[in-house]
């Protein structure tokens, strides 16, 4: 009988103990938000606890018995080695049950000692020592094993990026004494030998000559290997906009004599490109444009670009031929030629010009362009009889720019200056010297606001009559690029009939406050003030103000502004539209 009783009791234990249930939820208590989120991910209730709307009590009891071990395994990597757990199940509504887990994590263990030792040939190399100093854990920090592993990975990655491909940890230990609450970390890091760049091979580079492509390399053979230099090479090639894809691979398995060969796989972009465009603005009216670009003329990396634009106010056809310097990526020679026709409220002008310029960088972010320009211009000021001008203008252009992002800048400054002149004795009709420039700054403000300040100026000195100064060298600051709210190519001094004749000098300021609504959209309020003038005594400032919107795209920002003059009832609202940042 006793045997039969035990047998029946054994089978009863095997039968599942169940309760009717619609749902079973988890409620974690006793921890802060950070630990709550960690435990919530780790203590997911098994789906098998509920089957056919019934709670399996046997499995639930087993799961509750496992909770202390699960919680301990979850919290120990975050420094909590003395956690306590209690749990209970209660019916909160009919058929709805809740498993409440009360966790007492205890005090986290802190690091008592931290031994970081660097050995090997790179033991005294400053960048490696800086990597060691930047290890994210320190004495008295809470022991975080995830941060410990991340720090190890960053240390190893940093060493490899510096050319130490054989770097490794000779010893890496975390010693924990639960009773004394002591945590000792020991890291012995062996640098190994430092590798050099080997030969660089270009694959699938199309018609581009290898010497042309080597301009983009930021390293030379036998330089110490550096991932930073490979990244710079990648950026240079990407910025050139010549390739559809760029894949740069250091071939560690092909290394010989501590030299790492580099393979660069390129997929050239189409050699010929066409960019049609259409638009409208109050300044120009309806306009259409077409740009043609040949990226690799004569298979020597030379570039030809032609731009045709037709609008109600002006038409032009411009060409540019660029010859790269094969020894310096940032130096080039350019030849320009173009025909420009302007017909606006103040003047009509027909120009033909040719120009040669040499571009090269100087100190840090300063770039200079030395040019000589030959220009022939026939112009009419307010329907007066035409004048013909011939000028030979040598000059220099300087630009300096520092900005966080060229497409959507939040902080930056840019300055541009141009000085050019001509002499009657050197193939020009008049003695002339003209200086123009602008400075633009943008500053971030709280609440997704940014403030843009811009100052434009110009000064002209000439020996002959003002009427001999061509229309294209006079300043008419009305319109989208000057004082918005006024008609394009107006403002400045007037003649006896009250018609604008332009000024020799220019001073205009723009202030814009932008509020970003989304990463792609922003609204703007602005005011412009200034004018052109011949002498300071006749400097009559004009002011306009308005609102606008900026839409940021991958090719630059689209600006739409609506403005009107302040204190001038003769002019109404005017629309201006432009594409591209001021940077």
- Tens-place pLDDT, residues 229-241: 999 999 999 999 8
pLDDT (average), residues 488-507: 92
272-579 has the same fold as 113-190: no
The one-character DSSP state at 299 is T
Q: What percent of the chain has pLDDT over 70?
A: 94
pLDDT (average), residues 376-396: 92
Which pLDDT value is given to residue 580? 61
pLDDT-derived band of residue 19, with 50, 70 and 90 as boundaries? low
Other Cβ atoms closer than 10 A to 516: 18
- Tens-place pLDDT, residues 203-233: 988 889 999 999 999 999 999 999 999 999 9
Which pLDDT value is given to residue 549? 94
- pLDDT of 159 > 50? The answer is yes
CATH 1.10.220.10 corresponds to the domain 272-579? no
pLDDT-derived band of residue 565, with 50, 70 and 90 as boundaries? very high
User: Which residues fall within 8 angstroms of residue 164, CB to CB, at 6 or more apart?
Assistant: 122, 128, 191, 192, 193, 194, 195
* DSSP codes joined into one string, 301-340: TEEEEEEEEEESSEEEEEEEEEEE-TT-TT-EEEEEEEEE
Q: At what angle do helices 126-133 and 145-161 cross, to 10 degrees?
A: 170
Q: Which of 13, 7, 11 is nearest to 58 (CA)?
A: 13
- pLDDT of 282 > 80? The answer is no
Q: Which CATH number fits domain 196-268: 2.40.30.10, 3.10.20.310, 3.60.10.10, 3.30.1280.10?
A: 3.10.20.310
Which pLDDT value is given to residue 476? 95
Mean per-residue pLDDT of the chain: 90
- pLDDT of 13 > 80? The answer is no
Which pLDDT value is given to residue 406? 75
User: Which tokens in the block code for residue 74?
Assistant: 């979850």
- pLDDT of 555 > 90? The answer is no
- pLDDT of 275 > 80? The answer is yes
- pLDDT of 373 > 90? The answer is yes
- Tens-place pLDDT, residues 299-320: 899 999 999 999 888 899 999 9
Domain boundaries, the chain: 13-104, 113-190, 196-268, 272-579
Q: Indicate the helix (H) or strand (E) that contains 375.
A: strand 366-381
- pLDDT of 244 > 80? The answer is yes
Would you say 293 and 272 are in contact if contact means Cβ atoms under 8 Å apart? Answer: yes
User: Can you say whether residue 567 is alpha, beta or left, with left for phi > 0 and alpha for psi between -120 and 50 degrees?
Assistant: left
pLDDT (average), residues 74-87: 94
pLDDT-derived band of residue 281, with 50, 70 and 90 as boundaries? low
pLDDT (average), residues 110-135: 95
pLDDT (average), residues 366-384: 93
Q: What percent of the chain has pLDDT over 90?
A: 72
| Mean pLDDT lowest among 130-144, 272-286, 337-351, 520-534 | 272-286
What architecture does CATH give domain 13-104? Roll (3.10)
Q: Which CATH number fits domain 113-190: 3.40.920.10, 3.40.50.300, 3.10.20.310, 3.10.105.10?
A: 3.10.20.310
- pLDDT of 7 > 50? The answer is no
- Torsion angle, alpha carbons of 116, 122, 128, 130, to 10: 70
């Amino acid at each position: 009988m006793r045997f039969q009783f035990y047998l029946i009791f054994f089978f009863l234990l095997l039968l599942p103990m169940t309760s009717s249930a619609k749902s079973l939820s988890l409620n974690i208590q006793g921890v802060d938000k950070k630990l709550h989120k960690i435990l919530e991910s780790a203590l997911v209730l098994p789906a098998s606890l509920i089957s056919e709307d019934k709670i399996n009590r046997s499995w639930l009891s087993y799961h509750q018995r496992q909770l202390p071990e699960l919680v301990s395994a979850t919290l120990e990597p975050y420094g909590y080695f003395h956690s306590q757990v209690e749990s209970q199940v209660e019916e909160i509504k009919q058929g709805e049950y809740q498993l409440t887990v009360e966790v007492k994590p205890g005090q986290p263990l802190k690091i008592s000692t931290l031994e970081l030792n660097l050995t090997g040939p790179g033991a005294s190399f400053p960048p490696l020592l800086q990597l060691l100093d930047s290890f994210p854990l320190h004495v008295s920090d809470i022991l975080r094993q995830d941060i410990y592993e991340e720090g190890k990975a960053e240390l190893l990655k940093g060493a490899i990026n510096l050319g130490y491909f054989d770097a490794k940890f000779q010893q890496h230990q975390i010693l924990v004494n639960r009773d004394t609450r002591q945590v000792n970390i020991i890291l012995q890091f062996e640098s190994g030998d430092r590798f050099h760049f080997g030969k660089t091979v270009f694959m699938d580079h199309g018609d581009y000559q290898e010497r042309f492509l080597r301009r983009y390399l930021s390293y030379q053979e036998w330089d110490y290997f550096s991932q930073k230099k490979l990244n710079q090479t990648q950026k240079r090639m990407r910025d050139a906009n010549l390739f559809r894809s760029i894949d740069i691979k250091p071939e560690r398995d092909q290394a010989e004599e501590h030299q790492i060969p580099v393979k660069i796989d390129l997929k050239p972009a189409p050699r010929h490109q066409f960019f049609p465009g259409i638009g409208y603005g109050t300044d120009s009216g309806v306009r259409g444009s077409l740009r043609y670009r040949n990226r690799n003329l004569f298979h020597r990396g030379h570039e030809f670009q032609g731009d045709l634009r037709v609008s109600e106010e002006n038409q032009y056809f411009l060409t540019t031929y660029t010859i790269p310097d094969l020894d310096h990526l940032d130096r080039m020679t350019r030849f320009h030629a173009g025909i420009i026709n302007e017909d606006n409220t103040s003047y009509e002008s027909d120009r033909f010009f040719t120009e040669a310029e040499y571009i090269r960088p100087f100190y840090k972010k300063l770039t200079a362009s030395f040019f000589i320009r030959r220009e022939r211009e026939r112009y009419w000021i307010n329907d007066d009889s035409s004048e013909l001008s011939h000028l030979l203008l040598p000059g220099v252009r300087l630009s300096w720019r520092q900005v966080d992002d060229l497409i959507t800048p939040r902080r930056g400054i840019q300055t541009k200056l141009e000085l050019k002149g001509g002499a009657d004795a050197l193939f020009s009709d008049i003695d002339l010297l003209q200086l123009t420039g602008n400075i633009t700054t943008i500053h971030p403000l709280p609440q997704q606001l940014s403030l843009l300040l811009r100052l434009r100026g110009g000064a002209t000195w000439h020996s002959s009559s003002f009427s001999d100064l061509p229309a294209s060298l006079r300043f008419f600051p009305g319109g989208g690029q000057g004082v918005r709210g006024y008609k394009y190519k107006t403002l400045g001094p007037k003649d006896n009939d009250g018609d604008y004749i332009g000024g020799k000098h220019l001073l205009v300021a723009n202030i814009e406050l932008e509020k970003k609504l989304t990463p792609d959209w922003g609204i703007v309020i602005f005011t412009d003030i200034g004018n052109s003038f011949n002498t300071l005594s006749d400097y009559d400032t004009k002011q306009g103000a308005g609102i606008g919107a900026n839409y940021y795209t991958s090719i630059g920002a689209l600006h739409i502004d609506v403005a009107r003059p302040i204190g001038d009832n003769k002019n109404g609202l005017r629309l201006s539209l432009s594409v591209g940042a001021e940077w």
